[in-house]
Amino acid sequence: MCRVNRLKYPLTAIAIAAFALAPLTAAAAPSPSPSLDTVLAKPPGTDFHELTTSALNGAFTAHDWATLNGSGSGATDTENALKHDGFVAGYGKTWAQVSSGHALIEAVMAFNGGQGARKALTGLEAGDKSDSAYKHAVTLSGIDPYYGAHFVDSANNVVEDLFAFAKGNDVYGVLFVSDKDDVATLAATQAKAQFSAAPDSTIPSSQWPENASPTSSFPVAAFAIAVAFVIVVVGLIAFLALRRRTPAMAPAYAVPGGYGMPGAAGPMGTPDTTGGGVQMSPDGNYWWDGQAWKDASHETPPGAQRSSDGTLWWDGANWRPVPPAATPEQPPTG
């Protein structure tokens, strides 16, 4: 079989078929402006052909995204987490370049504020780096916050390079797929092109929840957590914490488990049955150490999962800032 036919079917099928689900639907208001269908960068060549039959080719909702990457309670958790972070709308496109055997996937998610977008970005990074196909980080300059990831799916002979970043109230993902390790530079170049093409925001910052007056209906607890993420400046993705990967699924830009985090506890106040989780009080202010309740704002559970930069810990439903270490009391002098 010739090279073109060999790549046309196995590569695009492996890289894209995972997204070939029911057609996606548009999200509800508020409507981003400019509209999301106009903000994705064009492919780096005229011989890239858009795969209009791919489910990740058009508008999608939080529910659509969750069911693309999981099922059952995992998909429900993902959908709820997206909505909690202020998901407004999403849009994706998929292209294939038969001559090179490359596939390109781009997606954008709009949130109701910049804090929600950054929180989502942090979760996304955690999910990608927990994937079994993840090999190492990839870097580029001129974009912040962002993260990059290199994946190798040996079983399906697929290599993938992903960059995701937050800009304003939006999160963007750029993924290149190939049957050999030859797309890292392409992915970095396309990510920079996407960053340049992206507007500063698709919802005016004056309308973001974090910029609302104190009488805003935005939940106080959620606001406090969102502020913590911005102050920490994790510079990476918080949406896809854990993805339920099938052998044919591309690892990038799937949904965070906690979106279904590994080892996370169930509903607040219920014991963890998966191992490695944290049991929280119903109000989320305390965690159980086996003998007593501990203040979550002052102590971090020793077994809690942490973000890659060590500044956040996962309580089973939300990322929390790691409290600063207490300063040892100094003995009196003299």
What does the domain layout of the chain look like in residue ranges? 3-204+218-232, 263-319
Please give the Cα distance from 134 to 149 (Å, whole number). 7
Query: Which whole number is the average pLDDT over 3-32?
Result: 40
Could you read off the pLDDT of 231-255 as tens digits, one per residue? 222 222 222 222 223 333 333 333 3
How do 170-178 and 319-321 pair as beta strands? unpaired
CA count, 13 A, side-chain hemisphere, 42: 4
Torsion of CA 106, 38, 205, 116, to 10 degrees: -30
pLDDT of 334 reads: 53
Fold of 3-204+218-232: Protein Transport Mog1p; Chain A (3.40.1000)
Residue 276's nearest CA partner among 315, 243, 324 is 315
More confident site: 58 or 235: 58
Of the candidate ranges 14-28, 71-85, 281-295, the one whose mean pLDDT is the lowest: 14-28
Please list, in sequence order, all residues whose beta carbon lies within 8 angstroms of the beta carbon of residue 79, skipping any fewer than 6 positions away: 62, 63, 65, 66
Could you read off the pLDDT of 90-107 as tens digits, one per residue? 999 999 998 899 999 999
pLDDT above 50: residue 23: no
Could you read off the pLDDT of 275-330 as tens digits, one per residue? 346 778 767 788 778 777 888 888 888 878 777 677 887 787 777 888 887 655 55
pLDDT above 70: residue 131: yes
Q: How confident is the model at residue 333 (pLDDT cuts 50, 70, 90)?
A: low
Mean per-residue pLDDT of the chain = 73
More confident site: 113 or 313: 113
pLDDT of 228 reads: 26
pLDDT of 77 reads: 83
Residue 197: alpha-carbon gap to chain centroid: 20
Task: Compute the residue count for the chain.
Answer: 334
pLDDT of 267 reads: 29
Of the candidate ranges 116-120, 156-160, 221-225, the one whose mean pLDDT is the lowest: 221-225
Percent of the chain scoring above 90 in pLDDT? 39
pTM, two decimals, is 0.59
Residue 160, φ and ψ in degrees, nearest 5: -135, 140
More confident site: 242 or 87: 87
pLDDT of 332 reads: 57
pLDDT above 80: residue 224: no
